Amino acid sequence: MEKYSNLRIFSLTEFLVHHSNNSKGKRKRYRTRAKILMATALEMERVGYENMTVESIVDTVDMARGTFYLYFENRAEAAKAVIRRYEALRRKIRPRKSTAPTIYEKILDYNLYYIGVYARNARLLAGREMLKRELPELNLRRDQLDDRWARVVMRDLHTRNCITSEDLKNPATILMIRAALSMADDLLREIFVYKSPSMAAFVADEKLVAEAISLAWYRILYGKTPNLNLLEKTRSFAEKTSLAG
């Protein structure tokens, strides 16, 4: 794991390789499953989920094909386990109880972390997009996670007196928060997963992506522009659009 803006940014594949290589002393079943998860992640990174096969997974770790089926029914189930591991690790080490002095800086800290992790796991996340077509339950899981996060944001807005108790009951409130979250995720997919030509320049500038998304979130959720002195890459844009009223 690397340090980035005082946050732990991880590549799940690197984490699984380290975990598998350091599982000596664990029960055989534990070690074997760790190997399969590691091999699945390596293959998703190397050839993509669409080209990955059970054969290529077991060949990566010199394992009998029959052993794989003792743990997973097919490649989709193994890939799902990898994605679930990614989501669990991302939640486990995400920024908590930020000491940043302003809400904008707290939002920026989280987005620096989220985007850094997203960028370093883009190949796995591309596989997740394809996997959703085979395993519809992943869409339900994603919806549950997004809904949970949106309600955390909504409670924070209420705590900060940005919305009233009546707003908490208004369906439009959760809809607007989900809209902000969805727009950010769609943008990250275009940049890091699909690598859209018009977005190519942003792959190498995670700070700009994080600041642009943070500014947009802040304006949508809090209805104002943060202190311009806190902005670096988006200051000129924020200043001009603030003056435009």
Regarding whether 115 and 61 lie in a shared domain, the answer is no
Q: Is residue 139 part of a domain?
A: yes
Does 150 map to a domain? yes
Mean pLDDT value of segment 99-117? 93
244 falls in which pLDDT band (50, 70, 90)? Answer: low
Shared domain check, 170 and 113: yes
Contact 202, 193 (CB under 8 A): no
Q: Are residues 57 and 123 in the same domain?
A: no
Q: What is the mean pLDDT of the chain?
A: 92
| 39 and 156 share one domain | no
> Does residue 3 belong to any structural domain of this protein?
no
Average pLDDT, stretch 235-242? 93
At residue 6 the predicted structure's pLDDT band, cuts being 50, 70 and 90, is very low
CA-CA distance, 138 to 132, in Å (whole number)?
6
Rounded Cα–Cα distance for residues 175 and 156 (Å) = 16
pLDDT band at 7 (very low <50, low <70, confident <90, very high): low
134 and 231 assigned to the same domain = yes
Residue 84 lies in a domain: no
pLDDT of 1 above 80? no
Q: Are 182 and 153 in contact (CB under 8 A)?
A: no
Are 121 and 238 in a shared domain? yes
Please give the pLDDT value at position 21.
Answer: 95
| Tokens linked to 41 | 């992640």
Q: What is the per-residue pLDDT for 4?
A: 42
Average pLDDT over residues 75-101: 91
Examine the domain organization and report whether 197 and 138 are in the same domain: yes
Is 30 inside any structural domain?
yes
Task: Report the share of the chain in percent with pLDDT over 70.
Answer: 96
**Residue 87 within any structural domain of the chain:** no
When pLDDT is averaged across residues 56-67 and rounded to a whole number, the result is 97
Q: Is residue 81, in this structure, part of any structural domain at all?
A: no
51 and 127 together in one domain: no
131 contacts 80 by C-beta, under 8 angstroms: yes
Give the list of residues 6+ apart from residue 243 with CB closer than 8 angstroms, or none: none
Q: Which region among 63-72, 97-106, 167-176, 236-245 has the lowest average model confidence (pLDDT)?
A: 236-245
Does the pLDDT at position 5 exceed 70?
no
Whether residue 85 is contained in a domain is answered as no
Q: Do 128 and 207 share a domain, yes or no?
A: yes
Tens of pLDDT, residues 211-231: 999 999 999 988 899 999 999
How many domains, the chain? 2
Same structural domain, 226 and 162: yes
Which of 72-81, 98-107, 164-173, 206-215 shows the lowest mean pLDDT across its residues?
A: 98-107
DSSP H/E element including 8:
strand 7-9
Given this model, what pLDDT does residue 100 score? 85
**Whether residue 205 is found in the same domain as residue 130:** yes
Q: Yes or no: say if 127 and 43 are a contact pair by the CB < 8 Å rule.
A: no
pLDDT at site 193: 93
Q: Give 110-145 pLDDT, tens digit per residue.
A: 999 999 999 999 999 999 988 988 898 888 988 998
Q: Which structural domain, as residue segments, surrounds residue 36?
A: 9-74
| 39 & 102 share domain | no
Q: Which of 37-51, 136-150, 231-245 has the highest mean pLDDT?
A: 37-51
Q: How far is CA 41 from CA 83, 135, 160, in A?
A: 9, 18, 41
Instruction: Enumerate the β-bridge partners of residue 3.
Output: 8
| CATH number for the domain harbouring residue 18 | 1.10.10.60
- Whether pTM > 0.85 for this model: the answer is yes
